[in-house]
A and B are shown apart, each in its own frame.
Chain A
């Protein structure tokens, strides 16, 4: 944390020359690289998350990560090491529960989200002197990204890209209609669970940087913006990935210029971009309707 306070004081710069100086610091380079990797990963997975109505799912997995972090500290393990298997198992169990009951999936997700949050907060309160870090888990710190985090994020990105792009048509069909996909011999259940594994891992590797509360923005906002702009799946997927990366770079610059926290700056940029595109698309469609 000391290191971060130091870096935050360096962020109190507002002119371009200082921004360039700032970019020469290794922690800043790691932060930008990490943010871009997470933007790419969020855009890629997010395009399927939004279409498969899994956005609430990743939100719940993110909150469960709080329990993972608290458990890690309590058992005196590295929280990051604890986080990966914890979110992974949590994601799989929740998907299994959704498959096994007749309850609506948003109800199940609300239940496990609330439960995880309650357990996480209570566990955190058992840790003397740790409570200050609750904010860190909730909102993350992009500037605290280390080389291990970068490698983990890169691995999840490579794994996700190989899995989704090599089976792209099957993934699209599965998203459109699981029954038809199954008739065409697509291993529907295997692919669904594999996707949830990747999604849970992506959430886990992003939490340190952007926190429990904002991690979902990376999955939902760029993909939703891309959805407004595209009528073809291939273009939609590419736009979503590009917007994810662009938002991360722009957000980091904003955070440097205005001395804002990095995670919220990225999400703010994603949000503003969405608003602009939303307004633009609606204006164009209203205009073309009037012209007819």
Chain B
């Protein structure tokens, strides 16, 4: 059974070039096929969620888009340029991997960590930088944590700080790999409100991996269901229909959904 792939409807004002264009992306990891023939594009000012079961290749997809792992086939263009030749446009990217920090005993304060996202040459001098760090921390509601060492933060607090790291400088394209995992309901709602604001007011584009189907259906513009390849893509009400979820996650998911 192949579910119909609905044509995506974009808002009328979005006639710009795509922020991201992926064509026929195929990636092998240690000789097993991780994703095959994935094609999609993202238009400016949209928030797209990638959903799919564990091992579907979601993180692989984002790592391949960012050219962090080699691909076997396909073409990736970010801001209309091949990803290998982004040049200074790489400062327009914000990336939060699943595990940003391996070493919790790293001696670095929250403000210093956020400041790493500030690229002097691109955005201005030291004083403007300090103001930008304070503002970014306020926007994610973590300003009171600024002098703490990162090792003392809770999981949710750390996620806020990492988002502050991304937004300390004006960027265009955010890639979040389960950035909200472990964040409580209120925290997740705050996050989506902030993403919404960045999207509406500053034209940011967001590609995020999420396991929270409810949050995705409420807040994202588009959903890409992935299970090795694109199972379906479209607005949340279409892409997250029971039929498409079944096709993406397999029978186990529908059982899970019925029981809870």
**A residues lining the B interface (CB < 8 Å):** 51, 169, 172-173, 175-177, 179-180, 182-185, 226-227, 230-236
> Can you report 20 residue pairs joining A to B where beta carbons are below 8 Å apart?
A51-B103, A172-B116, A176-B101, A176-B103, A176-B108, A177-B102, A179-B68, A179-B97, A180-B95, A180-B96, A182-B66, A182-B68, A183-B90, A183-B95, A184-B90, A227-B105, A227-B107, A230-B107, A232-B112, A233-B112
Task: Kindly list chain A residues whose C-beta atoms are within 8 Å of the C-beta of B108.
Answer: 172, 176, 231-233, 236
CB distance from A182 to the nearest CB of B (A): 6
Interface centre among A175, A185, A234 (most CB of B within 10 A): A185
Write the B83-104 contact mask toward A (1 if CB under 8 angstroms, else 0). 0001110110101110011110
A179-B95, A182-B68, A183-B95 given; A169·B100 CB < 8 A: no
Write the B56-79 contact mask toward A (1 if CB under 8 angstroms, else 0). 000000010010100000000000
Is B189 engaged at the interface, CB distance under 8 Å to the other chain?
no
Known pairs A172-B108, A185-B91, A231-B108; list 17 more (Cβ under 8 Å).
A172-B116, A176-B100, A176-B108, A177-B100, A179-B63, A179-B68, A180-B95, A183-B93, A184-B91, A226-B107, A231-B107, A231-B148, A231-B149, A232-B149, A233-B107, A234-B112, A236-B107
Assembled-state Cα–Cα distance A232/B109 (Å): 5
Lowest 4 CB-CB distances: which A-B pairs, in order? A231-B149, A185-B90, A236-B107, A183-B95
Task: Kindly list chain B residues whose C-beta atoms are within 8 Å of the C-beta of A179.
Answer: 63, 66, 68, 95, 97
Interface centre among A169, A172, A173, A231 (most CB of B within 10 A): A231
Assembled-state Cα–Cα distance A176/B108 (Å): 10
Task: Kindly list chain A residues whose C-beta atoms are within 8 Å of the C-beta of B113.
Answer: 176
Of the residues B88, B97, B106, B109, contact of A180 by C-beta under 8 Å: B97
Is B123 engaged at the interface, CB distance under 8 Å to the other chain?
no
Is B119 engaged at the interface, CB distance under 8 Å to the other chain?
yes
CB distance from B178 to the nearest CB of A (A): 14
Assembled-state Cα–Cα distance A168/B113 (Å): 12
CB distance from A196 to the nearest CB of B (A): 19
Q: Are B100 and A180 within 8 A (Cβ)?
A: yes
Q: Are A169 and B68 within 8 A (Cβ)?
A: no
Q: Are A173 and B107 within 8 A (Cβ)?
A: no
CB distance from A285 to the nearest CB of B (A): 11
Assembled-state Cα–Cα distance A169/B97 (Å): 19
CB distance from A205 to the nearest CB of B (A): 27
Query: Which residue on B lies nearest to A232, using beta carbons?
Result: B109
CB distance from A284 to the nearest CB of B (A): 15
Is B44 engaged at the interface, CB distance under 8 Å to the other chain?
no
CB distance from A44 to the nearest CB of B (A): 15
Query: Which residue on A lies nearest to B148, using beta carbons?
Result: A231
Task: Kindly list chain A residues whose C-beta atoms are within 8 Å of the C-beta of B95.
Answer: 179-180, 183
Assembled-state Cα–Cα distance A231/B101 (Å): 16
Query: Which residue on B lies nearest to A177, using beta carbons?
Result: B100
CB distance from B161 to the nearest CB of A (A): 12
Task: Kindly list chain B residues whose C-beta atoms are within 8 Å of the C-beta of A177.
Answer: 97, 100-102
Q: Are B102 and A183 within 8 A (Cβ)?
A: no
Query: Which residue on A lies nearest to B117, using beta carbons?
Result: A184
Query: Which residue on A lies nearest to B109, using beta carbons?
Result: A232
Q: Are B88 and A169 within 8 A (Cβ)?
A: no
Is B115 engaged at the interface, CB distance under 8 Å to the other chain?
yes
Query: Which residue on B lies nearest to A230, using beta carbons?
Result: B107
Task: Kindly list chain B residues whose C-beta atoms are within 8 Å of the C-beta of A227.
Answer: 105, 107
Task: Kindly list chain A residues whose C-beta atoms are within 8 Å of the C-beta of B91.
Answer: 184-185
Task: Kindly list chain B residues whose C-beta atoms are within 8 Å of the C-beta of A230.
Answer: 107
CB distance from A217 to the nearest CB of B (A): 20
Q: Are B66 and A183 within 8 A (Cβ)?
A: yes
Task: Kindly list chain A residues whose C-beta atoms are within 8 Å of the C-beta of B100.
Answer: 176-177, 180
Assembled-state Cα–Cα distance A230/B105 (Å): 10
Task: Kindly list chain A residues whose C-beta atoms are within 8 Å of the C-beta of B107.
Answer: 226-227, 230-233, 235-236
Query: Which residue on A lies nearest to B152, using beta carbons?
Result: A231
Task: Kindly list chain B residues whose C-beta atoms are within 8 Å of the C-beta of A236.
Answer: 107-108
Of the residues B68, B115, B116, B147, contact of A183 by C-beta under 8 Å: B68
Assembled-state Cα–Cα distance A180/B88 (Å): 15
Assembled-state Cα–Cα distance A189/B88 (Å): 18
Assembled-state Cα–Cα distance A176/B151 (Å): 13
Query: Which residue on B lies nearest to A234, using beta carbons?
Result: B112
CB distance from A96 to the nearest CB of B (A): 18
CB distance from B41 to the nearest CB of A (A): 20
Task: Kindly list chain A residues whose C-beta atoms are within 8 Å of the C-beta of B102.
Answer: 177
Query: Which residue on B lies nearest to A170, using beta carbons?
Result: B116
